[in-house]
Structure 1
Amino acid sequence: MKKTNDSGGIETARTSASPQPAPASAASAEMRFAQSPLGAHLRAMLDKGSAANRAIADILLRHPVQATSWSIESLAEVAAVSPASLSRFARLLGYPGYAALRSDVAATVEAMINPVEKLRGRFDAQPANAPTPLSDSLEAALSNVRGTAEGLHPALIAEVVERLTTARNVYVMGFGLSAHVAGVLTLGLQPFCHGVQNVVEFGGTEVAAGRLLNVGEGDVIVALSIPRYASDAVHLAAYARDRKASVIAITDSSASPLIPLADCVLLARSSHPILSSSTLGLVVVVETIVAALMTSNQANVDQAAKLTEAISSYLFGDNGSRSPVRRRSLKTSERPG
């Protein structure tokens, strides 16, 4: 049962599902969770939500780590509300239901936990039959690929392809881990889109800002960002948005700071048991976009064929030998011994 204390706050009587005191590492994650974009939405509920919504937000902010394993019935019991109230709360925040909200809580908590802490846990005493880091990593990889693929709806991919095809210029932006995948996307888009630029390829933030200086209406910026989110990606995406450019976000969660800035959102799962994030989900999204773009019209199919023909002379043939075209003659002193 829930009751009001003398200071007007909400106390929750202990039940079988009541949260237990969290370890120090979890407490640290809870503090960082409260400062996340999802945490900010929950804090807003404390000020303007109904009594039931305030109770739910209070529990999620105080116990996000435990909440990742609670069923809708368990959380309803802890918050002393009905499961229906939880469903309405999730929809109020923009989720289709409680399961999606809990998934985002889990993804946000995962992003808040320092990779060093995750790695340190691997050296704690483990049962002999416990999963190994290798098996956990492989399972996470499969889960990220599968989950990302399931969320890529054809209609959304078609909308992204349309925006890219009709854009005046296409800017691709990714910092940190995302920078490498941004390079793959840039390479895939260049034959089929106008004015494709990888804004972070060389020179870092200052040069990226310079490349975006003339961005404007009719342009598209594709921003890739997964935990831990780069603040520069958010700031530059906001700049492009203010200049009336269209923003396509490829990110991991609806709690991502890129979400409010985006016209189109493609979600890529990025959780990993040891690393800060996994880029496999990003790669799945990028390859899907490029494949859809290549086959979206006959002109692009013909362009892909021309590209294959143009680079064929640089490739090894079916018999393993390199085509003689464009092969530089080696001087005697340069030939292998």
Structure 2
Amino acid sequence: MTSGKSVSADVAFVQSPLGQVLSAVMTGGSASHRSIADYLMRNPMRGTALKIEEMADGCKVSTATISRFARDIGFGSYGAMRSALAETLHSALQPVEKLRSSIVRRQEAVSPAEASMEYARANLATTQGALSPQALEDVARKIDGARTIYVLGLGMSSSFASLLALHLQPYCKHVVEMAGSGGNEAAAGRLLHIERGDMLLALSFPRYSSDTMRLAHFARNRKACVVTITDVPSAPMVPLSDHVLYASSAHGVLPGSYVAAVAVIEALVATLMVSNKSNVRKAARLSEVMSEYVIDPAV
């Protein structure tokens, strides 16, 4: 199997030199430049085929702004930028197509259960390759410094939000699991008091919930830090997030495979647990307390 970084074309594109340049523009560029970079990050394939007038129309800017953008990120012309975009995509897609073809061939000879396991292994490999320890440490540090952690997951993502909230509770002073009883309306009510110094930790996987985006908008307007665990850089929550952790979720039959999502949750919590001596002590105390309530298999 190819390396994890090569399995997901979306992740590979974001991690490419051109993808990194576009990500930097989205963070610190002008409003018009951010609009163009966001469009290219969301539609890289389409960007390779559009004429400059079509690109300008799609980004709601002038053709002169498109040309200036291309020069500002290091290309002599719009055509040169479009060629670089195509070359980057070609490099990203080659190993992905190879893996997809391999899985399709295997599906002809194996059961649906075995094919599903193959997708799970591929998603774990993708996620492991794309997830940097530094990104986990950055998010763990933000969690450690937040006053209140609001954990949000709706629809299929709600069960992962519950798992994450349960893991965070021993190490955070105040964790609010938003997807409890009362549905989406109650979740909005629980978010009412979020403000600067707090964190919204959202999980968003196919099928994506539009209410998750609306609540994230509210949290951003209140100056809270927004961290998202999602599957691809083109996911709708990415532009709303200060930090993103990716867990690949491709599947041939189901809306998504969520094995990697659990792996990322575990990796994040493990990073948080060892991030400082205080959390190590909390883990030790938790083990002492829990020893009274669990059965020791060695006894």
Q: What's the TM-score, normalizing by structure 1? A: 0.62
User: 1:190 maps to which residue?
Assistant: 169
- CA contact 1:52–1:85 (8 Å) conserved in 2: no
- Displacement of 1:130 after TM fit? 2.8
User: Alignment partner of 2:292: what SS?
Assistant: helix
- Displacement of 1:39 after TM fit? 10
- CA contact 1:144–1:268 (8 Å) conserved in 2: yes
User: 1:17 maps to which residue?
Assistant: none
AA aligned opposite 2:251: H
Residues 103-127 of structure 1, C-alpha deviation per residue, up to 9 Å, x if partnerless? Answer: 9x99xxx9xxxxxxxxxxx9xxx99
- Displacement of 1:271 after TM fit? 0.8
User: Alignment partner of 2:232: what SS?
Assistant: coil
- Displacement of 1:135 after TM fit? 1.7
Among the aligned pairs, what percent are the same residue?
Answer: 36
CA distance in 2, matches of 1:147, 1:203: 36
Matched, 1:294 2:296: no
Residues 67-87 of structure 1, C-alpha deviation per residue, up to 9 Å, x if partnerless? Answer: xxxxxxxxxxxxxxx998443
User: 1:88 maps to which residue?
Assistant: 85
Computing the radius of gyration over CA atoms, which structure comes out larger, 1 or 2? Answer: 1
Runs of 4+ in 1 over 6 A off after TM superposition: 37-40, 51-54
AA aligned opposite 1:235: R
Q: 1:285 to 1:317 in 2, by over 3 A?
A: same
User: 2:253 maps to which residue?
Assistant: 274
Residues 204-245 of structure 1, C-alpha deviation per residue, up to 9 Å, x if partnerless? Answer: 100000000011111111110111101111110111011111
- Displacement of 1:296 after TM fit? 0.6
Matched, 1:147 2:126: yes
Matched, 1:314 2:288: no
Correspondence for 1:177 among 156, 169, 178: 156
Query: Which segment drifts farther, 39-48 or 186-195?
Result: 39-48
Residues 247-276 of structure 1, C-alpha deviation per residue, up to 9 Å, x if partnerless? Answer: 001001111110110000111100111111
User: 1:50 maps to which residue?
Assistant: 52
CA distance in 2, matches of 1:128, 1:274: 11
CA distance in 2, matches of 1:314, 1:301: 21
Q: 1:137 to 1:47 in 2, by over 3 A?
A: closer
- Displacement of 1:169 after TM fit? 0.6
Q: 1:99 to 1:174 in 2, by over 3 A?
A: farther
Residues 3-14 of structure 1: matches in 2 within 5 Å? none
Matched, 1:232 2:211: yes
Q: 1:46 to 1:243 in 2, by over 3 A?
A: farther
Unaligned runs of 5+ in 1: 1-36, 55-81, 91-96, 111-121, 321-337
User: 1:158 maps to which residue?
Assistant: 137
AA aligned opposite 1:183: S
User: Alignment partner of 1:313: what SS?
Assistant: coil
Q: What's the TM-score, normalizing by structure 2? A: 0.69
CA distance in 1, matches of 2:268, 2:134: 12
How many residues matched?
A: 234
- Displacement of 1:315 after TM fit? 1.0
- CA contact 1:86–1:98 (8 Å) conserved in 2: no
For the aligned residues, what is the CA RMSD?
A: 3.5
Q: 1:129 to 1:147 in 2, by over 3 A?
A: closer
AA aligned opposite 2:168: L
Unaligned runs of 5+ in 2: 1-38, 57-78
Q: 1:162 to 1:49 in 2, by over 3 A?
A: farther
Matched, 1:211 2:190: yes
